[in-house]
Structure 1
Amino acid sequence: MSQTPPRIMPKPFNAPPKGLWRATPPAIFPPIMGLMGLGLAWRNAAKVIPGAPAWIGEMLLGAFSLLYLFALLTYVAKVVRRPAVMAEDLRILPGRAGLAAGADTGFLFAAALVPYSASLAKTVLVLSLMALTVVALLILRSFALGPAEQRRVTPAWHLSFVGYILAPLSAVPLGWIGLSQFIYMTTLPIALAIWLISVLQVLKADVPAPLRPLLAIHIAPLSLFGIVSVLLGYNSAAAGFGLIAITLLVIGILGTPYLIKAGFSALWGAFTFPLAAFANLMFAVASVSPGAFRLIGGLELVAATLIIVYIASKIMQIWMRGKLSKATNAATV
């Protein structure tokens, strides 16, 4: 009596490849950028708010730095398997924003390291400058080779082409004043152009609901130019940036139902680092112009802590469940 051979099931269509970190999504970096900014905000709060504990900022920076290094390791492992996968990730908006945020976070990591090791902070700063330059050049290449729709200006352009303004956060304390002044003067016109084009685009057509969280990014470079203005001694400019940032934050709060209409997604990571940057701006301006800035910064920091940790934890959970790469169309190897 012959036995029926066992049935061999076909391989599932589009099955994820086996192996560790083959589909690491760049979308993990924006919320980590927000967390690192949050740690710096708590560090800076201790400098201007009497009684604010200094240990909170250092504890948060230590924990979030480890998270950043782990996320960086997982993405590098993916690129090492097939370097071309990086260019594939840059073909889509979440990939471009995520990889730029990954490089930008390196600047925040360098700033966190300054009080502990100047040499290590300088090394991280230089590596971050190189990383962001590579990402920016690859994005420009993707724009040149891809469809015209890719070249539409979005708030995420700030991360790729204005993100250098984060470098002075560590460069100025390390004594690299000339470099910081050069970055300030060259990135400000780029940011102004992105803001202007973005306004004109919004006046012509409404932003699709799923992409509206990206509008929050506009406040991040504004806050950073204010912070760097303080570091470079441009105190009048810093106060001006501070007042504009407060106005935009109020508009953003009032427009929250509009911004989150599409529901939660990985793009909510775009809310995190602008909230952290705003708090840092308030404390920076308060250091040279005490008054309402310190109070506003303290209140916003408490709210930002709750919001940033909530958004980052949700995105990290989606990543740990293996669903973030599919949700953001991340490339796999």
Structure 2
Amino acid sequence: MTDATLHQTEPRLAHFPVTFFATVMGLAGLTLALHLAETRFGWGHRASNLALWVTIVDFAALAVLYGIKALRHPGAIAGEWNHPVKLAFFPAISISLMLIATALRAEFGQAAVVVWSIGAAAQAVLFLAVLSGWIGRRPFQPMHISPAWFIPAVGNVVAPVAGVPLGFIELSWLFFATGLIFWIVLLTLVMNRLIFHDPLPGRLYPTLVILIAPPAVGFLAWLQLNGGQLDAFARILYYGSIAFAGIVAMQVPSLARLPFALSWWALSFPVAALTIATLRYGALAGSAGHDMLGGALLALLLAIVVGLIGRTMLAATRGEICQPE
């Protein structure tokens, strides 16, 4: 590498954002959705296995780059931690690990236990640290709140999806309870911001899709905790996610007019969570309609992820990402 290349690379590395880990969440969600669809419809597991390895490589590459950033540019990490929006994305790291563990569980059980344990420990620390950063440190304004603030709570609700079958029952209940309670609190704050204050800025507008994720993931976690019973609470969570999906669908014309940014990856994981929830609901209820809807959502998810990968690569070649904001 030449001196000129190093001179160009270092500043971009300093602006390598923690929001990049949202790509891992999206790819892991796609992996899980493909695996469930393959199991449900007897397609074989080639596509999900390929997606799993792509997800692992993506996480490993991002972890190395972000680790180098932490060593060379600790001030930039501190800047992200003190940022009212980017702070909420730090748990995307721990969520990614727990999602990878969920995908590993079927064929690599021991590895899944190790990865989930690391991810759950990191999630507990990050959840408490982010909440501590929100409370009592500095005044936040309504403009700082966005659906991205759900991410720490979503991480807690993700934990039982693999935690229960891996044997971490009580820990899974702890994560689920705290995640559910804080989702309700944050939902009130976010809806107040969306209704009574200025619209979200363009770069944050795609995070509206995150509204879908908490009830959809909550549905999947609840099924693990209650033994797979499609009870009243499970139905409330699932159809709540459908309602939020309808709200988000009404915003598609506005979303389509926005330029690309890394925040567009916020579309991927919520759609994956809804796809998995719909396929699970269809299997438990014996509903052909839900199976068809799950298949349609899977096709939409594939289109979203492929489009996001292509657009991210294009933005990278044009030098549009890892730039000062």
Q: How does 1:260-275 map to 2 (within 5 A)?
A: 260-275=256-271
* 1:296 is the counterpart of 2:293: yes
Matches for 1:135-154 after TM superposition, within 5 Å: 135-143=126-134, 144-149=136-141, 152-154=144-146
Match of residue 250 from structure 1: 246
CA contact (8 A) 1:153 1:198 kept: yes
Q: What displacement does 1:205 show? A: 2.0
Q: Does the 8 Å contact 1:24/1:78 carry over to 2?
A: yes
**Mean CA deviation greater in 110-119 or 146-155:** 146-155
Q: Aligned residue for 2:94?
A: 103
Structure 1 unaligned segments of length 5 or more: list them: 1-14
Q: Is the 8 A contact 2:153 2:178 kept in 1?
A: no
Unaligned 5+ residue runs, structure 2?
Answer: 1-6
Bigger CA radius of gyration: 1
1:106 Cα deviation from its structure 2 partner:
1.0
> What's the CA shift for 1:137?
4.2
Q: Which residue of 1 aligns with 2:4?
A: none
2:210 to 214, 217, 220: 217
Q: 1:259 aligns with which of 252, 255, 258?
A: 255
Partner amino acid for 1:235? L
- Other-structure match for 2:3: none
For the 8 Å contact 1:26–1:94, the answer to whether it is kept is no
What is the aligned partner in structure 1 of residue 171 from structure 2? 179
Aligned equivalents of 1:150, 1:99: Cα separation in 2: 21
Q: Secondary structure at the match of 1:296?
A: helix
AA aligned opposite 1:62: W
3-state SS of 2:147 partner: coil
Q: Secondary structure at the match of 1:38?
A: helix
Q: What does residue 88 of structure 1 align with?
A: 79
Counterpart of 1:323 in 2: which secondary structure? coil
Q: Is the 8 A contact 1:209 1:259 kept in 2?
A: no
- Shifted more, 300-309 versus 193-202: the winner is 193-202
**Which of 184, 189, 194 in structure 2 is aligned with 1:197?**
189
- Kindly tell me the number of residue pairs found equivalent between the two proteins: 314
Q: Distance in 1 between matches of 2:308 and 2:45?
A: 24
Q: Which residue of 1 aligns with 2:321?
A: 324
Judge conservation of contact 2:143–2:198 (CA < 8 Å) in 1.
no
Aligned residue number for residue 230 of structure 2: 235
Q: How much is the aligned-residue C-alpha RMSD, in angstroms?
A: 2.6
Q: Is the 8 A contact 1:213 1:259 kept in 2?
A: yes
User: CA separation in 1, counterparts of 2:16 and 2:46?
Assistant: 32
Distance 1:24 1:202, change over 3 A: closer
Which has the larger share of helix?
A: 2
1:2-41 to 2 correspondences below 5 Å: 18=10, 21-41=13-33
| CA deviation map 1:97-136 (0-9, x unaligned) | 4322222111111112212332321221122123233433
Equivalent residue runs for 1:156-175 within 5 Å: 156-175=148-167
1:78–1:150 CA distance, 2 compared to 1 (3 A):
farther
TM-score, scaled to structure 1 = 0.84
Q: C-alpha separation between the residues in 1 aligned to 2:188 and 2:133?
A: 23
Higher relative contact order (CA 8 A, sep 6+): 1
* TM-score for both structures, normalised by structure 2: 0.86
